[in-house]
Amino acid sequence: MATHGFTPEELARYERQMVLPEIGIEGQARLHEAAVLIVGAGGLGSPAALYLSATGIGRLGLVDFDRVDISNLQRQVLYTNRDIGQPKLIAAKKRLTAHNPHVKIDLHEEKLVAENVRRIFSCYDLVLDGTDNFATRYLVNDTCVMMGIPNIHGSVYRFEGQVSVFALTGDRRSTRSNSRSPRPPLNGPCYRCLYPEPPSPGSVPSCAEGGVLGILPGIIGLIQATEAIKLLLSQGDCLAGRLLVFDALRMKFRELKITRNPECPACGDKPVMTEPADMAGPCPFPGQEHEMNQPPIRELEVTQVKEKLEGDDPPLVLDVREHEELAICKLDLVQHIPLGELEARFAELPDDREIIVYCRMGGRSAMATQFLQSQGYENVYNMTGGILAWSAEIDPTMAQY
């Protein structure tokens, strides 16, 4: 029997899946010759990388430029306490190599942008999208469509996760020269067919703001890894044209059909996107989409805020986080209006008093500050860095999340 260059140790390692008739030694050789890129070595990328490596993918690429933080450990199972403070990719490679030294690990420790995305993607057969922001998600989608590379999408929020395969369209096929992995002629829709434009700020909080059940990214990341293996082996029915939605609270899966939009600017009949492009800056606050030339946001560092709060005429402090976040930590004597309710409730705020707005990290509060400025509030400031900066610089005893 041909061994396809596998060592006795490798044959023993993979024997439980090579006995599957859908895989066999030929299929294992396909996996060994495959190259898979994971964008984001976080909650989704961690389980996907662990299991793709264990399965015997020959080459695994990781894109990330973050460092391990203690808040990651609740869901990012690649890392341990000993890795806190280290670059994620260094810690990830150490863990993956220890588990399976036969897999080549490529590290791309850089932010994925239009300038480098083609160079990075050109070396891989498949892309797993484990990103947590819309700008990168759209960049991944558009580039995969242009280059003919299947994009295995996953996302999580609170107790719900979604997975789909945004596959090749028409004849746009990847031509990685050293790849013998199959290229099935799939004609599924792309991410823009499902979500043509990113949502308005504040309408979809990030996982850092809205929270996520720690085990949920593991479930979704493993479904992404499963789809990758099926595509590489040309086995089973992939999720192209289908969005799989998982509700962890009710332990239910449901499936939604997605159809390709012939008018889609990325994968439509007459696509207008021919080169990757970085998404423009933040979208305007809901209701302000058409207002231009907004004044710059006034900001104060946490040390400046502390001085004002200790002064004779302290400002009003506005917390725009969600209700659940207040139970973890908050500043004293604040007024609370969640960002999503601010447009309807801003009249509750006095217009003749200095207002300082804060959230967890400063993003939501910046949008709230800009909105209030647009409504005529002249003495409103954003607290730079949010309550995390306050905890780091002013009150280290304050709980962080």
| Structure tokens, 211 | 């929270």
With a cut of 60, say whether residue 246 has pLDDT above it.
yes
Of 203 and 46, more confident: 46
What's the Cα-to-Cα distance from 91 to each of 78, 107, 344, rounded to whole Å?
A: 8, 11, 46
pLDDT above 80: residue 308: yes
pLDDT at 127: 97
C-alpha distances (whole Å) from 111 to each of 121, 137, 328, 392 are 13, 13, 31, 25
CATH number for the domain running over 34-257: 3.40.50.720
Residue 280 pLDDT > 70: no
For 9-23, write each residue's pLDDT tens digit.
Answer: 999 999 999 999 999
Phi-psi region of 129 (alpha: psi -120 to 50; beta: other; left: phi over 0): beta
pLDDT at 87: 95
Q: Residues with catalytic annotation?
A: 207, 359
- pLDDT tens digits for range 175-210: 454 454 444 556 779 999 999 887 655 555 566 666
Residue partners of 75: CB distance under 8 A and separation at least 6: 42, 43, 46, 212, 214, 215, 216, 217, 218
pLDDT digits over 130-187, tens only? 998 899 999 999 999 999 999 999 999 889 999 999 986 444 444 454 454 444 556 7
Note the CATH architecture for domain 299-393: 3-Layer(aba) Sandwich (3.40)
pLDDT per position as a tens digit, 74-115: 999 999 999 999 999 999 999 999 999 999 999 999 999 999
Domain ranges of the chain: 34-257, 299-393
